[in-house]
């Protein structure tokens, strides 16, 4: 998967911008605040989800614009397929509603996942291993989504049924038991599907990571754990989940939330070589493990879908020493596909191997360079 052309209109600090890129490495360099990360964010919005910043749509509209923005891309989706046109944005009349078009036809945001997978690593993710369980769970779900575009639908339906169940539980004991059972059955169906997809993704990731060397990027060992920290060795079955929700109605009513289930699971990571919990490793080790994880996931997607995802690596090069930076470039160039990298200096990208497309970004203006 590669972006052949990317066009932005009134997105963040870019009034009108167009980038023509080739498969391989794409280097974006310029001063802080020039708009480099904004370009990566625009690319991330071509996949399902809220993008790499998870920002409200209203924040993405350029200051002084008319209330809307547009992102358009031509994507090389496969060697034997013609480029596909993907577009997303908002209109001034409906600033809170995201619009999606695929080959000029309206589509749901979830349909984007059939055509493109996008993985990213940003400075904000550096704290993943010491962050909240909710943020790690969202990170894992993004990894799953790149392998299984249906994962978002199961997640949305699970959340909707859980919210409806919560409202009914607030009226216990007067709540309709049949309606509660129906909602719990929906949660169980979609929760089991979510959990199976997570377990399958972690198994694939673990297999890829096991093939990687311990240097130059430390390998993490991964597991899914429940809210009590116990490792989840087998996926949830729908019937077991349904029984769990039914048993915990009074507990959940008192707590004001569903206290058990796939929505409470967490991603556990430890340094594969030392066995130390990732949260207790040094900052450098945590960054290395995160980078190793993203690269292994790119391999998983390529193996499962037959085409490599688009990689977005924001300010990664600046935090690596020259030998690790060179190793990173060699690896992603050898993998194939397309990777977009940002940095403040052109020198960070001077020794990139293979085909390299370079852009200098300054004040929302883009120049090939």
Q: Specify which residues 361 forms β-bridges with.
A: 366
* Beta-ladder partners of 7: 18, 72
For residue 314, the model assigns a pLDDT of 95
Among residues 44, 17, 46, the alpha carbon closest in space to that of 30 is found at: 17
Specify the pLDDT at position 192: 97
pTM to 2 decimal places: 0.90
pLDDT at 319: 82
Burial 317-340 (b: 16+ CB within 10 A, else e): bebbeeebbeebbebbbeeebbbb
Whole-number pLDDT of residue 13: 92
Q: What is the pLDDT of residue 354?
A: 87
Could you tell me which of 88, 90, 17 has the C-alpha nearest to residue 57? 90
* Residues 48-58: tens digit of each pLDDT: 888 999 999 99
- The 10s digit of each residue's pLDDT in 36-94 is 999 999 999 999 888 999 999 999 999 988 889 999 999 986 667 789 999 999 998 88
Query: What is the predicted pLDDT for the residue at 368?
Result: 87
Both tokens of residue 106? 């309206």
Strand 118-121 and strand 310-313: pairing?
Answer: parallel
pLDDT value of position 355: 87
How many angstroms separate the CA atoms of 134 and 35, rounded? 29
Predicted pLDDT of residue 179 = 95
Contacts of residue 353, defined as CB under 8 A and 6 or more positions apart, other chains included, come to: 25, 329, 330, 333
Of the candidate CATH numbers 3.90.1150.10, 2.30.130.10, 3.30.70.890, 1.20.1050.90, the domain formed by 132-282 belongs to 1.20.1050.90
At 177, list the tokens.
């038991």
Predicted confidence at residue 189, as pLDDT, reads 97
pLDDT for position 335: 86
Residue ranges covered by each domain of the chain: 132-282
The CA distance from 93 to 66, in Å, is: 10
Single out the residue of 327, 315, 316 nearest to residue 352, CA to CA: 327
Write down the mean pLDDT value for the chain: 92
Instruction: Give pLDDT tens digits for 215-242.
Output: 788 899 999 999 888 998 888 999 999 9
- List the structure tokens of 196: 């199976």
Residue ranges of the chain with per-residue pLDDT less than 50: none
239-264 burial, b if ≥16 CB within 10 A, otherwise e?
eebbebbeebbeebbeeeebebbbbb
273: left (phi over 0), alpha (psi -120 to 50) or beta: alpha
- Residues linked to residue 94 through DSSP beta bridges, in sequence order: 91
Distance of CA 280 to the CA centre of its chain: 24
Q: Return d(Cα 102, Cα 170) in angstroms, integer.
A: 42
Give residue 181's pLDDT: 96
């Amino acid at each position: 998967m590669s972006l052949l052309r990317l066009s932005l209109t009134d997105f963040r600090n870019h009034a009108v911008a167009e980038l023509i890129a080739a498969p391989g490495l794409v280097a974006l360099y310029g001063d802080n605040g020039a708009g480099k990360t904004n370009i990566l964010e625009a690319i991330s919005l071509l996949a399902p989800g809220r993008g790499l910043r998870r920002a409200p749509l209203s924040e993405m509209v350029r200051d002084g614009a008319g209330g809307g923005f547009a992102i358009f891309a031509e994507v090389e989706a496969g060697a034997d397929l013609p480029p596909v046109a993907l577009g997303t944005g908002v209109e001034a009349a409906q600033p809170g509603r995201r619009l999606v078009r695929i080959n000029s036809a309206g589509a749901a945001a979830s349909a984007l996942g059939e055509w493109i997978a996008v993985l990213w690593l940003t400075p904000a993710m550096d704290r993943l291993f010491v962050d909240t369980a909710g943020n790690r769970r969202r990170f894992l779900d993004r990894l799953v989504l790149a392998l299984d575009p249906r994962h978002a639908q199961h997640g949305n339906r699970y959340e909707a049924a859980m919210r409806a169940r919560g409202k009914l539980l607030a009226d216990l004991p007067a709540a309709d038991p049949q309606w509660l059972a129906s909602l719990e059955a929906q949660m169980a169906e979609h929760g089991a599907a979510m959990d199976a997809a997570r377990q399958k993704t972690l198994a694939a990731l673990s297999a890829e990571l096991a093939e990687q060397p311990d240097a130059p990027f430390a390998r993490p060992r991964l597991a899914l754990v429940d809210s009590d920290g116990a490792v989840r060795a087998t996926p949830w079955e729908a019937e077991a989940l349904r029984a769990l929700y039914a048993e915990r109605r009074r507990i959940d009513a008192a707590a004001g939330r569903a206290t058990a289930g796939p929505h409470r699971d967490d991603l556990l990571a430890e340094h594969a070589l030392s066995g130390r919990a990732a949260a207790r490793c040094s900052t450098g080790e945590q960054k290395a493990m995160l980078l190793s994880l993203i690269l292994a996931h790119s391999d998983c997607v390529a193996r499962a879908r037959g085409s490599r995802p688009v990689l977005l690596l924001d300010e990664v090069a600046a935090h690596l020493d020259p030998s690790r930076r060179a190793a990173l470039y060699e690896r992603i160039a050898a993998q194939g596909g397309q990777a977009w990298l940002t940095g403040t200096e052109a020198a960070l990208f001077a020794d990139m191997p293979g085909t390299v497309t370079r852009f200098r970004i300054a004040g929302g203006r883009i120049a090939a360079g």
